[in-house]
Structure 1
Amino acid sequence: MRRLVLLTLALVAGLPDPSRANDSSAQLAAGGLVLTRSDAIEMRTEDLEISRSAVQVRYTFVNTSGKDVVSRVAFPLPAVGGRAFFEMDIAIPLDSPDNFLGFETRVDGKPVKMEVAQKAMVGQAERTAWLRAHGVPLAPHLGPAQEALENLAPAALAEAKRLGLVDADGYPNWTLETTYHWLQRFPAGVPVLVEHRYKPSVGGTVSTLLGSDPDADTVQTYCVDSALLAALRRAEAKQVIYSEGWLDYILVTAGNWKKPIGKFRLVIDKERPEDLVSFCGEGVRKIAPTRFEMTRTNWRPERDLSILFLERRSGK
């Protein structure tokens, strides 16, 4: 059974209730590497470090099949676009049209040259070829896509609307799916070290109401306990203001490997001693003024990770 971990003090998943989230932004969930389910390759270790500034992961893979294996390894970016995307303020770290998380990876210390696959989807229909044929950039959340749609010839614009690429208000209506991938050779019996790093999408609000009006969904999602709520109430009494930050990390993709993760280590860094952080975990211990560690052995994640960062903004 998972228990609440109170850290001095607190770790990211669902969107907040809009009625409680004035001046808020929403987060996108990303995670780790994905491999088509493999009976040959084991994930011996995973060392995951998460802060609001960066996500860094180090994996050790071992091919136990007795012969070399070449497998495609992928990192899917969160999908962007669609009407709901434009109705919310989504936190996008970078303006890059195809790498808005600044993802980079190394294998055995050397940078990997990756391929990029992108699909523009309207529901279950792929419209990538149509957009490219008409000179419309694929990133729906950036200005050039909107500008290109506005400059379409009337017949092409009418077709775009018929295909569902443009909504009733003239906004891009497709969702962009982006995946970085490469072919990786796993020599028989030789450990392969894979490292990747990216900037997370961190949503949040300018202030939190948890102290005076705790929201049940937030409390459950981030395992916020009574001690943390009491600390926030004391802070409010002293006119100390905290803002909320939400960060999601997809853990369940680790189930694609041959066996459970041999040794898993998670470190959450709240970055500033005066800030708070909360998340659901077991056996978490404080290893530095801002860093908290959880380790597991022979572990297969059954749920994704949701982290609540509470940043002290002002106060006496």
Structure 2
Amino acid sequence: MKNPYYLLPKAVFITCGLAATALLPIIVQANDSTGYVGTGGVEYIKNKNISMHSEDLYISKDEIRVNYEFKNLSNKDITETILFPMPAVPSFLDSDYADTDSTYDSFKVWVNGRAIQPKLHVRTFMSPLVIENGYSTHTDEAVDTTDIFKSCGITDTDMLAPWTYQVYAEDVNRKLLACDNPQLTRFIKDRTDSYIFWDSQIIYSWQQTFKANSTTTVKHTYAPLVGGSVHLGEEEFGNFCVDDYTRRGFHKSGARPYQALSYILTTGANWAKPIKDFTLTVERDKNELVSFCWQGKGKVKKIAPNTFQIKESDFVPTHDFDVIFVHK
């Protein structure tokens, strides 16, 4: 059965293929964007009057920290809804899956130096059934099923089960199996099968007023969801632009257990202009090798024994960022 992990339609899509030895899937984080939470998921808005003046992004396995400066280019105050989508995670989690509970509890936001409390929205997604070669399977593209879940008496607390562990996913599945909503037949073939696969996504949002001709600072931090595996195969080197120096380090260390994460940069292109000043800092542990691809003009510089940095001017993100941390 296909069970990929998805972000919202019209947002970002990721499929995580797991090898037999895999412990954790690679997880995606995301940049801020403007928009609203609607019944079909998140719709993104490109605002022609607000520019992202600067973005200072710090990435490690323990923390993601982002500082933004937004500039209102108009003579009027503008109020938008700022959205921060977390990855969608599956309802059935392996024991070695990333620590979703820690990520759920760690998200914090400051605006102009003042802590704010964002609203939390939860959505669910399921993959429709299709017939392929005479057999029933699921499509690769999930659809938003939040309204169906709510019609079956499933609460936000229930839908947060993969994140908070306050409710068992099996209890949510029992409610689905007992529900008479005919739309469920698109996703569930056998009402006696308790193994129903669905994904849960958290979206944080807050109303933000950008003062006329002024700069607004936004900072947020959280513990990333980190994936990995017991061994990094050479066939995966290209995904992370592993260079010859790092390859030699791999061969010296023998086994290559690694951790990885992926950060969505491309939503940073939703603003009026290119990002005037962009800084990316990646920090590894002292007992690790680190490798990642970078397709901008900026050069990767080693600014400390375990810290690497890239600076860009007038930056338009066209690719997302994948990084691996390989244990020596």
1:54 lines up with 2:63 in the alignment: yes
Picking from 118, 121, 125, the partner of 1:121 is 125
SS at match of 2:224: coil
The 1:135–1:124 alpha-carbon spacing in structure 2 relative to 1, beyond 3 Å, is closer
The 1:89–1:305 alpha-carbon spacing in structure 2 relative to 1, beyond 3 Å, is farther
Equivalent residue pairs, number: 282
- Give distance in 2, aligned partners of 1:252 and 1:165: 34
- TM-score normalised according to structure 1 size: 0.79
The CA deviation string for residues 152-197 of structure 1, in whole angstroms up to 9 with x for no partner, is 5985489796463697641343322321111101001221110001
Question: Residue in 1 aligned with 2:252?
Answer: 234
Displacement of 1:113: 1.9
Picking from 73, 76, 83, the partner of 1:74 is 83
Displacement of 1:143: 6.9
Instruction: Within 5 Å, give how 1:126-275 maps onto structure 2.
Output: 126=145, 127-132=148-153, 137-141=158-162, 142=165, 144-149=167-172, 152=175, 155-156=178-179, 162=185, 164=187, 169-209=193-233, 214-215=234-235, 218-236=236-254, 241-272=255-286, 274-275=287-288
SS at match of 2:212: coil
The 1:297–1:136 alpha-carbon spacing in structure 2 relative to 1, beyond 3 Å, is closer
The 1:134–1:230 alpha-carbon spacing in structure 2 relative to 1, beyond 3 Å, is closer
The 1:128–1:116 alpha-carbon spacing in structure 2 relative to 1, beyond 3 Å, is farther
SS at match of 1:100: helix
Q: Return 123-132 or 279-288, whichever deviates more.
A: 123-132
Question: Residue in 1 aligned with 2:39?
Answer: none
- Give distance in 2, aligned partners of 1:131 and 1:145: 16
Q: Percent identity?
A: 26
The 1:153–1:221 alpha-carbon spacing in structure 2 relative to 1, beyond 3 Å, is closer
Greater relative contact order, per chain length (Cα 8 Å cut-off, separation 6+): 1
The CA deviation string for residues 76-117 of structure 1, in whole angstroms up to 9 with x for no partner, is 1111226xxx48677332327xx6362111101111121122
Cα pair 2:24 2:98 within 8 Å, conserved? no
Computed over aligned residues only, the root mean square deviation of the Cα atoms, in angstroms, reads 3.0
Cα pair 2:151 2:181 within 8 Å, conserved? no
Question: Residue in 2 aligned with 1:294?
Answer: 310
Gaps spanning 5+ residues in structure 2: where?
1-13, 35-44, 127-141
- Give distance in 2, aligned partners of 1:153 and 1:311: 42
SS at match of 2:23: coil
SS at match of 1:53: coil
Amino acid at match of 1:27: I
- TM-score normalised according to structure 2 size: 0.76
